[in-house]
Structure 1
Amino acid sequence: MPIDTFAKLALSPILLVQALQVRKRALILPEPPGPRCGKLGQGPTLRLLILGDSSAAGVGASHQSLALSGQLAQTLGQRVALTWQLEAETGATSASALKHLQSLPGEPFDIAIVALGVNDVTHQVPLSRFLSRRRAIHDHLRNHLETRHIISSGLPPMGHFPLLPQPLRWTLGRTATRFDAALAQLCSNNPDTTHLPLNLPFEPRYVAADGFHPSEPAYAQWAQMLDRTLPQRF
């Protein structure tokens, strides 16, 4: 039994109280305004899909131009003729994202960036079910949206989230690390899939006001990490 699973069983009354307290006092930040699709740049064409949860949706930024999709689009638009589309929602799990993905028109994409997993951890989704749904997401991207390459962004370091008290922080952090390692292994089995560890600095300026989401500087760092990954694939 993984140590975080054992801790959840042993500390379940404490963890439940802490989880309820976090929900009660948490600062609820909105998804920022701004475009969620667009075209810009010149050169070789690149069709990009970003699929994810509140972090992909830019919670913690004041505008989409300062969130992940906007900053990445501006960077890529300097080199390619980019068509990009953001499909992300606060609270999305791998299961709900898969359902949403299956409802999209069959428009093809060259690259899909998937940023999911935090809500699977907080909803205590079993690892086997998490991996099954991620496989289904990858299969749908390949087989129905003709996606040439999938970049699976790693789970964030939840063990460093200021919003979470101990031992809830430690427990969720260990679970997120375990899920991310399994996700990396899943991606390593397919040449058209890359796992990108989300190695953001553990500094206050990289955390939004809610103590949970990335800040605008963190989104800039994340976009740069993704940008450095793309040339290796195309």
Structure 2
Amino acid sequence: MTREEARQLGRIAVGAGVAGAVGAVGAALGAGFVVLLKRQAAHARAIIGKPFGEVAPFADKVYKKSYGDPVELLLLGDSIAAGLGAEDADGTLGARLAKGIAKKTRRAVRLTTAAKVGSESWMLPEQLMSLLPSYRPDVAVIVVGGNDVTHRVPIADSVKHLTESIEALRVRGAAVVVGTCPDLSALRALPQPLRSLGARASRQLASAQAQAAHGAGAYVVSLADVVGPFFITNPDEMFSLDRFHPSAVGYKRTAKAMLPSVLAALGVRDQVPFGHRAPTPT
């Protein structure tokens, strides 16, 4: 998350805080709550910085080329999908997924990353437009939502763009796996009550994403369930230097957690574990 994203999180918290505080205990306490949240957001911006800039490591290539018959893997979404926070290309989510797919399928994997740092759900169609019309991914992985929360994008708008992108990918012949919005309660760099407000908004979006993605025929992975506890209990290991994006270890754990649905989407396995949801057969 960049400084601007932290600033926007402060703004959505202020909006939510005003409504809750005014409704519960009156305007005077509401005003004090706003001041508190503004101070907390300013402090968060001061400590976050941009140690990685705003460009993720470039990881696109063919993994395990000697296996042949490459699987076409596409990554769409925000900074997590792009791999910001990883020290090098091999530590990104895309690279980790590619290696996991290659190991299980004994096929090469060609990774294409259209995800961009700072993206919101409305930018998914733009990412698809950046691909050649002839490009046909075997499986597309989408991770998006954190910036929708911090930028106060209405949930209905977020899921609309997500659904349309899933449908467009399926027209291309791709199976789709959606990692829902991470639970922002893991972001210890945000003090309370700012963190709780962001966490509540992220959980609401994740629930709506899961319902919409499943309805559109995608596999759904609840990142809050399958990997969130690791970030909460081991933040020093799982987060990168900015305390917002995953580290290489965090991406390794996230890829491992998402892999069952990716493999199921490819027809390599039948069942998916807790925190995963397969599309309803048609």
Range into which the TM-score falls when normalised by the shorter chain? 0.7 to 0.9
Give the CA deviation at 1:59. 1.6
Alignment match of 1:70 (pick from 83, 86, 95)? 95
Report the AA paired with residue 167 of structure 1.
Answer: P
Give the aligned residue type for 2:166. Answer: H
Q: Distance in 2 between matches of 1:210 and 1:147?
A: 37
Alpha-carbon separation, structure 2, partners of 1:29 and 1:108: 35
Q: Which has the higher strand share?
A: 1
Query: Which residue in the other structure is 1:206 paired with?
Result: 238
* CA offset digits 1:177-213 (Å, max 9, x no partner): 01001111112223x3011011221212112221111
Match of 1:197 in 2: 222
Question: Is the contact between residue 71 and residue 109 of structure 2 (CA under 8 Å) also seen in structure 1?
Answer: yes
Larger Rg: 2
Question: Kindly tell me: are residues 147 and 168 of structure 1, through their superposed partners in 2, closer, same or farther at Cα, counting changes over 3 Å?
Answer: farther
**1:172-191 matches, cutoff 5 A:** 172-190=198-216
Partner of 1:80: 107
2:252 corresponds, among 212, 220, 227, to 220
> For 1:104, which of 99, 116, 131 is the aligned residue?
131
Equivalent position to 1:7, from 17, 23, 27 = 17
* Alpha-carbon shift at residue 39 of structure 1 (Å): 4.7
**Greater alpha carbon shift after TM alignment, 28-37 vs 89-98:** 28-37
TM-score, normalisation: structure 1: 0.88
Task: Kindly indicate which of the two structures has a greater share of residues assigned to helix.
Answer: 2
Deviation at 1:12, TM superposition (A): 4.2
Aligned with 2:180 (options 136, 154, 172): 154
Summarize the Cα distance change of 1:53–1:168 in structure 2 as closer, same or farther, 3 Å threshold: same
Per-residue Cα deviation, 1:93-130 (whole angstroms, up to 9, x for no partner)? 11123223223212111110001100000001111111
Name the amino acid aligned to 1:178: Q
Residue 44 of structure 1: CA displacement? 5.2
- One-letter amino acid matched to 1:27: G
What residue in structure 2 maps to residue 24 of structure 1?
46
Q: Which amino acid aligns with 2:40?
A: Q
Q: Which amino acid aligns with 1:179?
A: L
Decide whether the 8 Å contact of 1:60 with 1:208 is kept in 2: yes
What count of residue pairs does the alignment treat as equivalent? 228
Aligned partner letter, 2:190: L
Match of 1:121 in 2: 149
Asked if 2 retains the 8 angstrom alpha-carbon contact of 1:8 and 1:15, the reply is no
Contact 1:32 / 1:62 at 8 angstroms: preserved in 2?
no
Calculate the TM-score normalised by the size of structure 2. Answer: 0.74
**CA displacement at 1:25 relative to structure 2:** 2.9
Seen in structure 2, the aligned counterparts of structure 1 residues 32 and 182 have a Cα distance that, compared at 3 Å, is: closer
1:122-161 alpha-carbon deviations (Å, 9 max, x no partner): 0011111111111121122223xx1331100121120121
Q: How big is the alpha-carbon RMSD for the aligned residues of Structure 1 and Structure 2? A: 2.1
SS of residue matched to 1:35: coil
More moved, 169-178 vs 46-55: 46-55
Partners in 2 of 1:94 and 1:48 — Cα distance?
Answer: 20
Gaps of 5+ in 1: none
More divergent stretch after superposition (7-16 vs 222-231): 7-16
Provide the rounded CA distance (Å) in 2 between the counterparts of 1:128 and 1:88.
Answer: 21
Unaligned runs of 5+ in 2: 1-12, 22-32, 268-282
Instruction: Determine if contact 1:152/1:194 at 8 Å carries over to the other structure.
Output: yes
Identity of aligned residues (%): 27
Residue identity opposite 1:89 in structure 2: K
Per-residue CA deviations over 1:158-177 (Å, capped at 9, x if unaligned) read 01211111111100100000
